């Protein structure tokens, strides 16, 4: 098999990151869902977990004078050659999406939600397939309960646009970033419920570095508190965790029902039903195309394969005597 040049593989991973970043701009679409779709979810959870613990150990062991060997072990366990291109692609897509997608969502909300619903509906194939084998009756019940939780969450009334303090910005970011790594829960939708979606987009477009700095700090703290538990679940309770993720994704479709009021109340289908159904189908076809392309590129070694989340750092290949 021909070995693909690392630059081509890096570009492919950056494109994956762009897809995840664009998803985070659209309320109701989870970046975690897209990460599952393009085969990098475990890789990102693995990297985020090691990075969070590495930072925590740097602070804790540094203060106690224990050295940085434990922190370095976690930093070394991050697959930087995959994580950095994905992170760069996400950042680029968020900056571009804030300027391009946000006006599109505002001007064509029904069509945008229809396409997004098609994306998520087809994406259910991914976690359901990762569960493997026939679902048991208890697993079906748990999946439906998770779907009910997502429906309840996405039925909450949306808050008015807020003028938040930097502390509130950090708290909201900590909550939203948990949604980023949990498929089926949209960080943008949580910000919308809190009334902070528009202010956050404005901060990105206006380069409000004070606001963005507070948001990043909150996101790092939230990631550190949340991701370790999720990483443990993926390693030790993987099947039931994926069942719950599938249910959350199914329930999140409530947020993407095309016909809604500005406050999020569901309306009956309107006269544009046929066109909206077409947009839904287009979204589903896009996902099926991505799945087919991703499988072909991984087979040809042009994209990095999925890495199972592992909370333990890799052993030092060259330990000191």
Task: Answer whether residue 278 is part of any domain.
Answer: yes
How far is 197 from 25, CA to CA, in rounded Å?
9
Task: Answer whether residue 308 is part of any domain.
Answer: no
Task: Answer whether residue 110 is part of any domain.
Answer: yes
Q: For residue 299, what pLDDT is reported?
A: 67
Are the C-beta atoms of residues 99 and 207 closer than 8 Å to each other?
Answer: no
Q: For residue 52, what pLDDT is reported?
A: 78
The H or E element containing residue 210 is helix 209-236
Are the C-beta atoms of residues 166 and 199 closer than 8 Å to each other?
Answer: no
Task: Answer whether residue 304 is part of any domain.
Answer: no
Q: For residue 302, what pLDDT is reported?
A: 55
Q: For residue 308, what pLDDT is reported?
A: 53
Task: Answer whether residue 316 is part of any domain.
Answer: no
Are the C-beta atoms of residues 260 and 267 closer than 8 Å to each other?
Answer: yes
Q: How far apart are the first and last CA of the chain?
A: 40
Reduce the DSSP state of residue 260 to 3 states and report it: strand
Give the distance, in angstroms, between the CA of residue 69 and the centroid of all CA atoms in the same chain. Answer: 31
Split the chain (321 residues) into runs of 10 and give each run's mean pLDDT.
66 86 74 79 82 81 77 85 89 81 78 86 82 87 92 76 80 79 72 78 85 88 79 84 87 85 81 92 86 70 55 56 46
Q: What is the DSSP letter of 308?
A: -
Structural domain containing residue 67: 6-299
Q: For residue 318, what pLDDT is reported?
A: 52
C-beta pairs of 276-283 under 8 Å, 24+ apart in sequence: 276/110, 276/111, 276/114, 277/114, 279/111, 279/114, 279/115, 279/118, 280/114, 280/115, 280/117, 280/118, 280/121, 281/118, 282/115, 282/118, 283/114, 283/115, 283/116, 283/117, 283/118, 283/119, 283/121, 283/122
Task: Answer whether residue 122 is part of any domain.
Answer: yes
Task: Answer whether residue 38 is part of any domain.
Answer: yes
Task: Answer whether residue 320 is part of any domain.
Answer: no
What's the token pair of residue 36? 């599952």
The count of structural domains within the chain is 1
């Amino acid at each position: 098999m021909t070995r693909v040049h690392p630059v081509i593989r890096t570009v492919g991973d950056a494109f994956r990151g762009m897809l995840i970043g664009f998803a985070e701009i659209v309320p109701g679409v989870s970046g975690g869902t897209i990460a599952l779709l393009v085969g990098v979810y475990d890789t990102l959870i693995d990297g985020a977990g090691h990075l969070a613990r590495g930072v925590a150990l740097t602070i804790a062991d540094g203060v106690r004078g224990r050295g940085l060997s434990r922190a370095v072990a976690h930093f070394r366990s991050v697959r930087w050659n995959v994580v950095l291109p994905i992170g760069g692609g996400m950042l680029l897509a968020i900056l571009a999406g804030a300027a391009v997608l946000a006006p599109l969502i505002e001007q064509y909300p029904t069509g945008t939600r229809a396409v997004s619903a098609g994306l998520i509906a087809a994406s259910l194939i991914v976690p359901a397939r990762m569960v493997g084998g026939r679902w048991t009756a208890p697993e079906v019940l748990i999946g439906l309960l998770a779907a009910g939780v997502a429906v309840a969450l996405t039925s909450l009334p949306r808050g008015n646009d807020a003028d938040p303090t930097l502390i509130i910005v950090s708290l909201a970011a900590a909550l939203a970033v948990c949604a980023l790594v949990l498929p089926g829960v949209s960080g943008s939708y949580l910000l919308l419920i809190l009334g902070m979606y528009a202010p956050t987009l404005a901060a990105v477009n206006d380069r409000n570095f004070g606001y963005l700095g507070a948001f990043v700090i909150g996101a790092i703290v939230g990631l550190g508190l949340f991701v370790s538990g999720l990483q443990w679940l993926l390693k030790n309770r993987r099947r039931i965790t994926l069942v719950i993720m599938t249910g959350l994704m199914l329930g999140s479709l409530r947020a993407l029902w095309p016909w809604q009021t500005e406050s999020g109340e569901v309306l009956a289908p309107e006269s544009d039903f046929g066109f909206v159904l077409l947009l839904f189908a287009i979204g589903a076809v896009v996902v099926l195309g991505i799945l087919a392309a991703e499988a072909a590129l991984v087979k040809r070694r042009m994209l990095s394969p999925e890495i199972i989340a592992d909370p333990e750092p890799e052993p030092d290949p060259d330990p000191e005597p």
